[in-house]
Structure 1
Amino acid sequence: MTRLAPDTLFSPHGAARRQQRRLLLILLAMAMLLCAAGLAVGSEGFSIGRLIVDLVGPQASLILGEIRAPRTLGALAVGALLGLAGALAQALFRNPLADPFLLGSASGASLAVVALLALASGAGAGWLSAPWLFGLGLSGAAFIGALGGVLLALVLARGAQHSLRLLLAGVIVGMVLSAVGDLLGAWVPEVLRGRQAFLLGTTAYLSWTSVGLMGIALLLCLPPALRLSRLLDALSLGEDAAISLGLPITRLRMALVAVLALCTGVAVAQAGLVAFVGLVAPHLVRRYAPSASSFLLLASALTGGVLLLAADVLARGLIAPRELPVGVVTALLGGIYLLVLMHRGRTA
């Protein structure tokens, strides 16, 4: 396999390098501030006084250590996985509207969750005698379904040789699996509520186990993504240019699809379908610090984490003690941002 030349995270130009470092420092500062805010937001909304009471109270280890802390760090990790996956998808398909769910992972995960809920209902209660089904859980089903959707798209596209064919296969798989999920929902109406909760996305059930799994996923996905970023730079010039550089495009593209699928599958398994984070995060990075793919991937992961954590804090605190689905908040914020971009593009 052809070795990719080593790359640097930062542009060689002094002004661009300073801009990139400034963006990273801003993102890190925002992440720390939002982590503090995440610890301070409870059932009564945002309150510093309540946070002090929780810190010294008898239930501090439970409220902060087992509920708010893993949820806060988990939201950061989910957003980082989606931001990285979104940057990979947009660079891989050379389409600024690509998102992490483009290859059928969202529909596959949703179908798997609906199928498991249907089996757990009266319509399929007999299947629950299987021990493996007990241990699978909704998170495991969503992960397997997401990877299954991507695998089916690869099979229909006959590999990753042609990005357009793979893109079309992903769209077809998404439509078909979504239709099958709708049919299951019509057949077993009891699953509709659970399916809706999964489609809206939530961070309410994140635990330290979730944080550990997503941390491992990031450690497994980020290094190879950065290593393969030179392929993305070459593909931005066109496939012919990449081939002229001697790069084995098919194998490298397959590796990138595998990283994309793993990021998306783990994030979806833990938090459901959180919209717009993977789509908007790379746009923000390119807008404020245009750079090569290596920096784009890293900064998109940080931006995705910050965006989802900010949305989670808002979802918990806006109408406390009630809570908004975090996927609704990200969709509203992301949609407004894209509409502003469209308006500015027309008036420029």
Structure 2
Amino acid sequence: MKPHGAHPRAARLRAVPLAVTVAALVVTLLGGLLVGAADLPAGGVLKALLDRVPFVRADSGLSAIEENVLFQLRVPRALMAALVGGMLAMAGAGYQGVFRNPLADPYLLGAAAGAGVGATLVIVLVPGDPAYGVPLAAFAGALLGVFLAYVLGRTAGQWNGAATLVLAGVAVSSFLAAVQTFLQQVKAEELQRIFSWILGGVGSADWRQLALVAPYALVSAVVLLAHGRLLDVLGVGDDEAASLGLSAPRVRMVVLVAASLATASAVAVSGLIGFVGIVVPHAVRRLAGGSYRIVLPLSLVGGAAFLELADLVARTVISPGELPLGVVTAFVGGPFFVAVLRASRRQVEA
């Protein structure tokens, strides 16, 4: 069976797939700025954006209220959807490279369960509306979940690498999910707010939240992109990697930390949005090849476009109401996951 991933001398990132994903992101971003309860003229929106470019002046013709809607509501929401989608997709690709498994997911190592516990604790214990306490607590909880999974995996006996870490992540996730359920029962009157966060969304995004997570997202993206070639080397086996002077455990640990940090930063501001880390990297492999020098950057851009489109669907399909973003991605990701699972099983049997 051919190893998951590509040979280290795989083709470089080609212009056409990159151009297609960038074009998809631009189109969906513009859609995110134009679609909403308030009807903003497309020409005015484009001119208002140009007016914010240094040394460019353009009279948008938008009123003060329309400009506030655009720059205080829609632009932060569109940027947040792109950031969260890009981070989740890139983290998924990183996990899949480490575990050599196309079904690996950003929530594999307890990040989602830890974030859920952190957010629930703030909602239950902090009076009023802790708008920024929830993201911070979710971020800390996600990192704690990954840390506990790693420590448990290292101390559970013989260290068997990826398999042991996955089992530790499942155990930690189950325990943290039980803690979250207990907290929900203790504070039953807060169930609506808790479930609203769990189902995921970017409707409350603002510039402060973007500033909160952007540094972590940037560091994660730089580290993951820098390890694309090394993940390709790991894909052909640890022995060949060692013969090339590469420390496989070190590379795996760096990628795991970066992918977990990306997941934590996304979950902290969006809640639990599933399947992005499976759907996008797998689609990229089908369209552009399996080298991680290709998969990682295209997953970053494609994930941003995918979640931007999902957010558009979430806010229009039952307008003037709005679907939770996690529900939209689950409608797409559930059948996609089954298809990937069936394909993986056929490859194993072959």
Query: Common fold, TM-score beyond 0.5?
Result: yes
Equivalent position SS for 2:107: coil
Which residue matches 1:147? 143
More displaced 10-residue stretch of structure 1: 326-335 or 145-154: 326-335
Which residue matches 1:27? 21
Could you tell me how far 1:46 is from its partner in structure 2? 9.4
Deviations 1:303-322 (A, max 9, x none): 11011000001111122111
Report the Cα distance in structure 2 between the residues aligned to 1:37 and 1:279, rounded to whole angstroms: 24
On the 8 A contact 2:96/2:103 being kept in 1, the answer is yes
On the 8 A contact 2:217/2:261 being kept in 1, the answer is no
CA spacing shift, 1:231–1:43, aligned 2, 3 Å: same
Report the Cα distance in structure 1 between the residues aligned to 2:263 and 2:139, rounded to whole angstroms: 9
Equivalent of residue 124 in structure 2, options 112, 118, 125: 118
Could you tell me how far 1:342 is from its partner in structure 2? 6.6
CA spacing shift, 1:163–1:8, aligned 2, 3 Å: closer
Percent same amino acid among aligned pairs? 37
Equivalent of residue 71 in structure 1, options 77, 96, 113: 77
Which residue matches 1:286? 285
Report the Cα distance in structure 2 between the residues aligned to 1:21 and 1:10, rounded to whole angstroms: 15
Report the Cα distance in structure 2 between the residues aligned to 1:242 and 1:322, rounded to whole angstroms: 53
Report the Cα distance in structure 2 between the residues aligned to 1:313 and 1:135, rounded to whole angstroms: 23
Report the Cα distance in structure 1 between the residues aligned to 2:346 and 2:225, rounded to whole angstroms: 36
Could you tell me how far 1:248 is from its partner in structure 2? 1.9
Which residue matches 1:94? 100
More displaced 10-residue stretch of structure 1: 199-208 or 335-344: 335-344
Which residue matches 1:208? 207
Report the Cα distance in structure 2 between the residues aligned to 1:120 and 1:248, rounded to whole angstroms: 45
Could you tell me how far 1:22 is from its partner in structure 2? 1.2
On the 8 A contact 1:8/1:294 being kept in 2, the answer is no
Could you tell me how far 1:211 is from its partner in structure 2? 2.7
Report the Cα distance in structure 1 between the residues aligned to 2:118 and 2:344, rounded to whole angstroms: 40
Q: Which runs of 5+ in 1 are unaligned?
A: 1-6, 129-133
Which residue matches 1:38? 32
Could you tell me how far 1:44 is from its partner in structure 2? 5.9
1:147 maps to amino acid: L
Deviations 1:219-251 (A, max 9, x none): 212222122223311221223332333222222
2:236 maps to amino acid: L
1:118 maps to amino acid: V
Report the Cα distance in structure 1 between the residues aligned to 2:26 and 2:131, rounded to whole angstroms: 35
Written as runs of structure 1 = structure 2, the 5 A alignment for 1:131-210 is 137-158=133-154, 162-210=161-209
Aligned length, in residue pairs: 326
CA spacing shift, 1:10–1:239, aligned 2, 3 Å: closer
CA spacing shift, 1:315–1:138, aligned 2, 3 Å: same
Deviations 1:153-195 (A, max 9, x none): 1110118871111111111100110011111112221232222
Equivalent position SS for 2:64: coil
- Is 1:109 the counterpart of 2:115? The answer is yes
Report the Cα distance in structure 1 between the residues aligned to 2:319 and 2:63, rounded to whole angstroms: 21
Report the Cα distance in structure 2 between the residues aligned to 1:10 and 1:234, rounded to whole angstroms: 10
Q: C-alpha root-mean-square deviation of aligned residues, in Å?
A: 3.1
Report the Cα distance in structure 1 between the residues aligned to 2:126 and 2:188, rounded to whole angstroms: 12
TM-score (norm 2): 0.84
Written as runs of structure 1 = structure 2, the 5 A alignment for 1:266-305 is 266-305=265-304
2:81 maps to amino acid: A
Deviations 1:45-103 (A, max 9, x none): 89869979x96233122100100011011101110111110000111111111110100
On the 8 A contact 1:9/1:295 being kept in 2, the answer is no
Report the Cα distance in structure 1 between the residues aligned to 2:28 and 2:297, rounded to whole angstroms: 19
CA spacing shift, 1:291–1:178, aligned 2, 3 Å: same
Q: Which runs of 5+ in 2 are unaligned?
A: 1-6, 47-59
CA spacing shift, 1:136–1:329, aligned 2, 3 Å: closer
More displaced 10-residue stretch of structure 1: 137-146 or 106-115: 106-115
Could you tell me how far 1:212 is from its partner in structure 2? 3.1
TM-score (norm 1): 0.84
